[in-house]
Chains A and B, each alone.
Chain A
Amino acid sequence: MRVDKLAVEDFRNYGKAATDLAPGVNLVVGRNAQGKTNLLEAVHCLSGLGSPRSPDVALVRNGADAAVLHALVTRGERSLTLDMEIKPGRGTRVLVNKTPVSGARALGALTTSVFFGPDELSLIKGTPDGRRKFLDDLVVKLRPAREGLRREWDRILKQRNALLKSAPRGHRGELATLDVWDDAMCRVGASLTAARIEVLAALLPHARKRYEAIAGAGRLELTYLSAWVSRELCDQALVDPAATDERQLQEMLAAAVASVRARELDRGISLVGPQRDDAGVLLEATSQESTGVLDARMYASQGDQRTVALALKLAELDHLSEVTREEPILLLDDVFSELDPLRRSWLGEAVHDLGQTLVSSAEPGAIESAAADRVIEVVGGTLRDVSV
């Protein structure tokens, strides 16, 4: 899939701006703080999953009450118009070919993209919630109908936490419903966890291949880290996700929840479940200094961590292409400057084998502009085609 034309209104620092995009590599150049990242972010918003960086409220230009995106999109043989109005607090209105669509149907009808920027290092270095979001976003991108599952999980967790918080003050009536929320939590939590493990298992072979190609050596391992899912089930599920028994997960969560009941009532918050799980990223080192399997979060160099993060994102792209039979749009925000020359040239080559790509860079020489199909210059929220 690709975006052929994009117009933005009141989006971040843009008043009104529009540009054509090439099917292949689009290089977005300009000095810092002119709106390069914002342009990539606008393309990402066309996927209906919001900003990769911040809450929707930040997307609207100061003083405006809504940000608007218009795009002409090609998917397979079909040409679609997308119109999107992002109104913080009021939600996002989506028109596909001028017809309103909503919910899971909208996500299925929109574009899919993979965003990689300097912040993506936090995928390795940061707190578990970034890795959970990565998995959960991918769960939804792969099967838009699961947006409902994710929403239901969030709602159940919020309701259960509200109930636990009210507990110590002795509302006996309300506490009578805790069993009900436990059941809901275990049922929906098991489904969400099974979906996450399935995604992780699917990513693993792609991530390994990409990591080896970028790093030249070494082996990447991914694991699902959880205080309530047994190690055996996690390991088995990563090898054969189809065999994951949701009922078994449900029982494990129920047992774990029962074991922390007293502490939960005491603390007034849910202490165990998918909301505390994590994805483990391990590197099997092959260098002279160290051997063995190391946790990439703690032991890898910044350069290696960046390589792992990039491998995960490209694995996401590979897996999405495989499942949806359409190549997602790749958005590479200011990543070339962070890579060493070897990895930079590898990535520069690799993007030519992918679908539509937008690459932003402050350094004109980051990727040879001759290698780009289109070069767009961003100056103070205006867009200009400067292709040679």
Chain B
Amino acid sequence: MFAPPLQRLIDELSKLPGIGPKSAQRVAFYLLKVTPSEAGLLADSITEVKEKVRLCAVCFNVADEEICQYCRDSRRDSTVVCVVQEPPDIAAIERTREYQGLYHVLQGAISPIEGIGPDHLRIRELLERLRHPADGRPPATEVIVATNPNTEGDATAMYLERLLTPLGVRVTRLASGLPVGGDLEYADEVTLGRALGGRRQMGA
């Protein structure tokens, strides 16, 4: 046990993803050594991100305004919506420069083990969006399902296909070529670009 303020910092840090008790301790002791202004920068950036960054009201990507940069951009093709699990997946797809449509972030994937069902994801909002497109923009005719190429991502894709096909939109899934069992976020540009080019209709 360390002095209570230090122990509290260690406890908070070890709640972060990918940080175990040992790393938390290392980071905490590092922070003890930095100047107050450096520590202040870190503390402020955490406060600022919580104050200023929120989820886009349309697509649930991270945004610094009510609507994110992609949803705001009228040059983007509103007839195609690409559905991803997490915001970093959008950055990965943008790096390919292969895609000009809009996005929708589910904020996860179906996983009964973790108690995550369709109601916990932004699926209702996706349906709503497809039924009632934004004013003055052409409605979506295609939904590209770009969930992670693993068991949970595939199940989510299959679920969406069943749900969306009756609405009359074309539902496509990224073609294989992505590493199985991996996270979309970590796929390299070439692989991801090829997968986008080769997307196929689901259930066909």
Contact = CB atoms under 8 A, between A and B. Distances in A.
B112 interface: yes
A162 B116 CA distance: 11
Contact of A148 (B113, B158, B180): B180
Given A174-B117, A176-B118, A184 B155 contact: yes
B119 to A, nearest CB: 4
Contacts of B162: 179-180
Nearest to A162: B112
A245 interface: no
A159 B158 CA distance: 15
B139 to A, nearest CB: 25
A180 B158 contact: yes
How large, as a class, is the contact surface on chain A?
20 to 34
A184 to B, nearest CB: 6
B203 to A, nearest CB: 10
Contacts, number: 53
A interface: dominant SS? helix
A338 B22 CA distance: 49
Interface residues of B, number: 18
B113 A174 contact: no
B interface: dominant SS? helix
B125 interface: no
B84 to A, nearest CB: 18
B151 A152 contact: yes
A75 interface: no
Given A174-B117, A174-B118, A160 B154 contact: no
Contacts of A162: 112-113
B155 A173 contact: no
Interface of A: 103, 148, 151-152, 155-156, 158-160, 162-163, 166, 171, 173-174, 176-177, 179-181, 183-184
Interface of B: 110-113, 115, 117-119, 150-152, 154-155, 158-159, 162, 180-181
The 7 closest A-B pairs by CB, nearest first: A174-B117, A163-B112, A162-B112, A173-B119, A155-B151, A162-B113, A180-B158
